[in-house]
A and B are shown apart, each in its own frame.
Chain A
Amino acid sequence: DAKTTQPPSMDCAEGRAANLPCNHSTISGNEYVYWYRQIHSQGPQYIIHGLKNNETNEMASLIITEDRKSSTLILPHATLRDTAVYYCIVKYGNKLVFGAGTILRVKS
């Protein structure tokens, strides 16, 4: 399974864009990149996923580099409620295998 590398923590000012990076240099051609987040003591929440094109939904944007070795999740206007652990996952086949994630702290 492809592994992902994320910074352990990041801070972001409320109202500003939060850009969360993820490296997945061993990703193969048919593996999707998924992003989930987990607010304390809750189950993970799906955010977005993509294969090679950039994706946008009501929650976030996902930018995947052309070589697919890294991606960035963008929360365009972070709020205090976006404080959570964000997981970047490369899905192979059936399974979502979680790494350590990035703790995002949104501060007022």
Chain B
Amino acid sequence: GAVVSQHPSWVICKSGTSVKIECRSLDFQATTMFWYRQFPKQSLMLMATSNEGSKATYEQGVEKDKFLINHASLTLSTLTVTSAHPEDSSFYICSARDWGAGGRYNEQFFGPGTRLTVL
């Protein structure tokens, strides 16, 4: 399957600081990327959808000023958690949808996730 990477794989930060998480599609172009959050023993919750070159669409209840999403190219999206607090500690997972080359049109692939711990 297609490869989606995330960096960093884990991060620990102090309360009040901002953290940036990168998501890259390594072997395909992704016009659409998605960001999910997963708390322990819970399912994935969709936070936002980002399209290359345009503003992200946030799900209800997700603060767009707190979770800044940038999708500047067909292979890179970033999620910045601003002024992080302990309740933002979670597993953040990105997903990228294949543009269509290689017979994988519209398939969606997930990154390995980033574990954020806010102290």
Contacts and interface: CB of A to CB of B under 8 A. Distances in A.
Interface of A: 36, 38, 41-46, 87, 94-101
Contacts of B111: 43
- Chain A residues touching B, majority SS: loop
B41 to A, nearest CB: 10
Given A41-B91, A41-B113, A95-B49, A46 B43 contact: no
Interface in B14-60: 32, 34, 36, 43-46, 49
A46 B113 contact: no
- Chain B residues touching A, majority SS: strand
A98 B113 contact: no
Interface stretch (B65-73, B75-83, B102-110): B102-110
B46 A46 contact: no
Contacts of A42: 112-113
Contact of B110 (A41, A44, A97, A101): A44
Contact of B43 (A43, A45, A94, A100): A100
A43 B49 contact: no
A46 B107 contact: yes
Contacts of B93: 43-44
3 A-B pairs with the lowest CB-CB distances in the bound complex, closest first: A43-B110, A98-B44, A44-B110
Contacts of B115: 41
